[in-house]
Amino acid sequence: MPFVGYILVVLVAYLLGSIPTGFLVAKARGIDIRSMGSGNIGATNVYRTLGKTAGGFVFLADAAKGWLAVFVVAKLVAVWMYPAARLLAHDWFAICAGVAAILGHNYTCWLYFKGGKGIATSAGVLVALVPWPLLIILGIWIVVLALTRYVSLASISASFALPFAAWLVGESTAKTLVTAALAALAIYKHKANIQRLLKGTENRISVKKPLPSDAPKLIA
């Protein structure tokens, strides 16, 4: 029955998305990333704490979780369970898988349902689900970051533009509504950043910022 397929997709995608990459990478260096910087387990806080190599790895790994959930998990379940209607099934399975992976990252069951903001995982989902809107908002993200050096403001701006980009390129109503929901979730997860931006206390990104004195050195 169809609901069995949806349950399977959601469960596998959630567990995949819930892998706390940033936490694990920092833990391997002897650090609890939740007690450092913003306390977030995402790539930006890992970058600020452990440097660009660790931060870049976490970003790519978190993005891979989203891409695998949509492009691999959803497709395999659709082909396996509904071969006669796999294209239609995969479209809806892909949407469910993407949402589940992002929720898994944001509310990971391994860390008492406290995770990241979902930007990297969302990027991976969008690569597989709506690549052209992603290119549009990626351009917005780069411009805002270059002008302000606020990662949070760049992410919020790109998230806000996402459903409009999806509508602009002619994505289906379902995908446009889903991108709107994902954008709202991403902005909501940035509520603390929004407060700091309004107060003028938000940290700017710096590519040359040195590691903290108590941070272990990365092994090349």
Tell me the residue range of the domain where 171 lies. Answer: 130-207
The pTM of this model reads: 0.85
Give the domain-ending residue among 57, 78, 111: 111
Confirm whether 192 is domain-assigned: yes
- Number of domain units in the chain: 2
Tell me the two tokens of residue 74: 């959803």
pLDDT reported for residue 220? 31
What is residue 85's DSSP assignment?
G
pLDDT reported for residue 56? 97
Tell me which residue has tokens 């954008």.
183
Torsion from C-alpha of 176, 10, 129, 109, nearest 10 degrees: 100
Sign of CA dihedral 190, 196, 200, 203: negative
pLDDT reported for residue 92? 85
- How many percent of the chain have pLDDT more than 70? 89
pLDDT reported for residue 79? 73
Confirm whether 173 is domain-assigned: yes
pLDDT reported for residue 97? 94
**Judgement on whether residues 103 and 49 belong to the same structural domain of the protein:** yes
**Judgement on whether residues 95 and 31 belong to the same structural domain of the protein:** yes
**Judgement on whether residues 95 and 21 belong to the same structural domain of the protein:** yes
Which residues of the chain register pLDDT less than 50?
209-211, 213, 217-220
> At a CB cut-off of 8 Å and minimum separation 6, what does 141 contact?
154, 155, 157, 158
pLDDT reported for residue 219? 38
Distance of alpha carbon 70 from alpha carbon 64, whole angstroms: 10
Element (H, E) at 195: helix 191-199
pLDDT reported for residue 181? 95
Model pLDDT for residues 177-200, shown as the tens digit of each residue:
999 999 999 999 999 999 999 999
